[in-house]
Every structure is written in C-alpha cells, then in structure tokens.
Amino acid sequence: MIADPRSPDISTKALVLDFGGVISKTMFETHALNEAALGLEPGTLTWQGPFAPESDALWRAMQAQEISERDYWLTRAKEVGALLGQDWRSMKQLVQAARGSVDPMTFIRPEALATMQRVKQAGHKLAILSNELDLFYGEDFRPRLPFLADMDLIVDATYTQILKPDPRAYAFITEGLDLAPEDCIFVDDQMKNIRGGQDAGMTCVWFDVHNPASSYSQALSHFGLPALA
C-alpha cells in the first residue's frame, strides 16, 4: 500500500525560498532582455556576478562581506541610470525599468514553479524569506505573480528591517509557520544566508544558479519527493 503523502501521519514541513535568484532568474541571466527593455545596445551590461566573479570586482567584494547585497545593486542601478542619463538611487528603479513592462512570469524559474507545486500537493507549506522583495520589485509586482497566492507566509525585510543572516529573520519563519527549524527546508543562493539558516537550526540547501534543477531536486529530497526531470 502506497501512503498518501498528505495523510496525517506524515509530518508537515515547509519549503522556505529566497526570492531573487532562487525563484526569479538573476538580473545577470536576463541581460539581453534588460538591455532591450532599457534601450541599450546588446552587450552593454558586462557585469556577471556569480557567472564570472573573476571579472566582477564588486561582486567579489560583496561575497567577502566588504559591502552588502543592497550596496552591490545600488551601485549597479546608479551605473545603469547614468548610461540612460538618469540619476537612479535605488535598485527598484533599475528593476522596474528593466522588467516592469514585461510579464514578470517571464523571469520566474520553471523549476521553482514545479517544485512549489509538488511540495504544496504533498501537503506541506510554502514560504518566502526575502531581504528585499518589495524594495526591489515594488508592491504592484506581487499581484502579477499568481503563484504567490499559494504561499503560507511571506517575510520581507522591506518591512521587518531584519535582514538575513540575522537570527531574527529566520525566527519570523519558524514562529509564523509554527514549525520546528529542522522542518523548514531553506533555500538561498547566498552562502552567508545559508550559514545563518544553519545556525538557526534549519535544513538548508545552497542554491546553485548555474544548476537550478539540481538545487531544487536536492530540496525536494528533504520532502521525500522525486527529483525534477
């Protein structure tokens, strides 16, 4: 007899996802789309972050925690704004200019959608733990992403002002979902945030932006669910 994964004897867990880079594709991966939306010549945006860290000194500084992730994107926003003759002072201006006129589902990883659907159908919970969801994307972005309606909890430091890897950020998740830390499968593409999750007692999966399917399959394994094709 095959057990129903939603039966009461199966303990409830939660898939806790970062947003930018994990659910949505990184800005680096969509340079061509960004350049077209911004009216820039192809190849204008040369910074590649995790895809070519050797040529992105600013990214390396962020990874060394010499600057914050917000500092990184603020600098990039200012640079792109200057190319357009504009004085941009926030990542939100860059994101909305580059992605605001395009269906935002274009930038959502299909692997993320497939994984969230499997986890939800198996009777588990879904949550987002982001440092800058609305700060970067704007409040009007959420209604354009229908899968967000399936979330049991969204914790956004835009409002809490508590950024990962602060232990309090992870506590918002465990307390809000009423789950033990080890029952929260936390996925993030920044190693400092993964270390924070581990310190908080969560089961953590570092998200490799080079191989989304493998990372999501690893997360699914913690729920006893099959890997992505």
Which pLDDT tens digits describe the chain residue by residue (229 residues)? 233 334 434 699 999 999 999 999 999 999 999 999 999 999 999 999 999 999 999 999 999 999 998 899 999 999 999 999 999 999 999 999 999 888 999 999 999 999 999 999 999 999 999 999 998 888 888 999 999 999 999 999 999 999 999 999 999 999 999 999 999 999 999 999 999 999 999 999 999 999 999 999 999 999 999 999 8
Radius of gyration of the chain from Cα atoms?
Answer: 18
Q: Which among 10, 45, 11, 9 is positioned nearest to 28, based on CA atoms?
A: 45
The CATH 3.40.50.1000 domain(s) of the chain lie at 14-24+108-221
Yes or no: domain 14-24+108-221 corresponds to CATH 3.30.750.200? no
Whole-number Cα distances in Å, 69 to 10, 124, 140, 159: 38, 30, 23, 17
